Amino acid sequence: MTLVAILSGAGISTDSGIPDYRGPNGLWRRDPGAEKLVTYDAYMSDPQIRRRSWRMRLDSPAFRAEPNVAHRAVAELDRAGDGAVRVITQNVDGLHQRAGTPARKVLELHGTARSVVCTGCRARFSMEEALARVEAGEDDPPCTVCGAVLKSATVMFGERLDPHVLGQAMSIAKACEVFIAVGTTLQVQPAASLAGIAAEHGARLVIVNAEPTPYDEQADDIIREPIGTALPALLRQFHAS
């Protein structure tokens, strides 16, 4: 049984209407100031940043987005049962799970935008509930348990990744026979290092991305075609493995 690990980045979700961050039309290039909205120190110290952040979420396409053919292809490979599939995602949109990949097989390295967490007591609430409060007039809704600042349950710039989740991801990278990096620039560490770890431990490294990455030299295959056609075709190879 082949263990296929899939590291997905923002590029896998652009066909669902969610813009990426660092691509030619990425969010950071169009609005460099937007990066402050997801930077922990700026968010915590500046109520105006928090208000902008909540307004941005109200308008975010991520909460209206539906899984696309690439997300569904990953779920279909899992359902086929011809091998073991594990998804390690840098995305926070939850679309792999909505496409049908079981949550227990998806590691969300950067957390989830579908929940919020209290920075004081660590209580968690649904993002839907928090946004309803914003729509009702609370421009910076505090925790209803302790009154502290609420934030998206995503890993902001300046925050550490969950060491347990990262440890699991590294174990998968070391154990898999195939490691597919799709829609990621492989520039954000430590997530990007998983590609190198997999290659060093003997995995076939496949990179599906429109632009070059720092790990291209270690890759066995590089695919520059659109993800919506390239990934389903690639994953079909493993249905009979």
- Active-site residue list: 110
- Segment (H or E) for 40: helix 40-45
Gap between the Cα atoms of 18 and 10, Å rounded:
8
Sign of the CA dihedral 159, 165, 171, 177? negative
- Residue 46 phi/psi, 5° resolution? -125, 105
Q: What is the DSSP string of 91-125?
A: --S-HHHHHT--GGGEEETTEEEEEEEETTT--EE
Task: Examine residue 190 and say whether the peptide bond preceding it is cis (omega within 30 degrees of 0).
Answer: yes
